[in-house]
Amino acid sequence: MGLARAGMAQHGTVVFSHEQTKGKGQRSKAWVSQKDMNIAMSLLVDPKKLNVSELFLLSMMVAVGVRQFFLSYIEEGIKIKWPNDIYWRDRKAAGILIENVWQGSEWKFAVVGIGININQTDFGMLNPKAVSLKGITGKHFDPVLLAKELCKILDEKYQLLTSDPSQIIQQYKIHLYKLNEPVKLKKGNRVFEATFTDVTPNGQMVVRHAIEERFDVGEVEWLINGG
């Protein structure tokens, strides 16, 4: 982020971290990556080809790309948990956090933070539901080589996003975790169950129980399998 603000980075710049001790995810949850075990990287995106109304489409694109990355090694069970975590069955394998920088009303750039559990198998009590690529496949991987593969996929998905965003939306929606299933959510002190029916183009989660409700990113918390 600092490099971008200082004008020392451009679209496509990638910063790879070999160790992460103060990472953060959605809702300011901590994310810790053991040294040389995982992918922890930030990608700078120049959004000139996108409209401000398409903020969440960038999030969709990254989630679709990270999911496709997993498909090179895992045949089934990889889903996108709204808004943009990657789950294998009911366990978190990757997380995405996008920070947008504005100059007045102009969207200057986005910093896409991606954390993927690659070889780490001990997550302690901090992330008891986490799982890694090694934990799923039993194989050890080189995180740097895998990060390069991921960057190629993300570049392809970005080209698709700017040429035919409807394809990204479709790929995102058909692979949503718990879509059309009952989910348990928390908003403030309110805990309730509803059926997860859709995600709007601007990123709202749509659920239905007695009525239909829509929630912005960060407005509700999942209470499913440790969330």
One-letter amino acid at 223 equals L
Q: How far from the centroid of its chain's Cα atoms is residue 145's Cα?
A: 20
DSSP 22-65: EEE-GGG-EEEE-TTTSEEEEEEE-GGGS-GGGHHHHHHHHHHH
Residue with tokens 């799982």: 131
2-174 CATH fold: BirA Bifunctional Protein; domain 2 (3.30.930)
In 3D space, the residue among 101, 100, 74, 103 whose CA is nearest the CA of residue 89 turns out to be 74
Rg (C-alpha) for the chain, rounded Å, is: 17
Share of the chain above pLDDT 70, in %: 85
The tokens describing 32, both together, are: 């810790």
Cα→Cα distances 170→48, 164, 199, Å: 23, 11, 11
Mean pLDDT confidence for 174-202: 97
Q: What is the pLDDT of residue 5?
A: 55
| 76, 86 contact by CB (below 8 A) | no
pLDDT by residue (tens digit) across 8-25?
568 889 998 875 555 554
In the predicted model, what is the mean pLDDT of residues 87-113? 92
For position 138, what pLDDT does the model report? Answer: 97
pLDDT in tens, 141-173: 999 999 999 999 999 999 999 999 999 999 999
- 114-145 confidence digits (pLDDT tens): 999 999 998 876 677 899 999 999 999 999 99
Cβ neighbors of 223 (< 8 A, separation 6 or more) are 184, 185, 186, 191
User: Going by C-beta distance under 8 Å and a sequence separation of 6 or more, which residues neighbour residue 6?
Assistant: none
| Residue at token pair 């001790």 | 21
Determine if the peptide bond prior to 182 is cis (ω within 30°): no
Q: Reduced to 3 states, what is the DSSP secondary structure of residue 4?
A: helix
pLDDT score recorded for residue 227: 45
pTM of the model: 0.89
Would you say 81 and 92 are in contact if contact means Cβ atoms under 8 Å apart? Answer: yes
In the structure, what pLDDT confidence band is assigned to residue 226 with cuts at 50, 70 and 90? very low
**Residue 101's pLDDT is what?**
87
Q: Tokens standing for 123? A: 């997550």
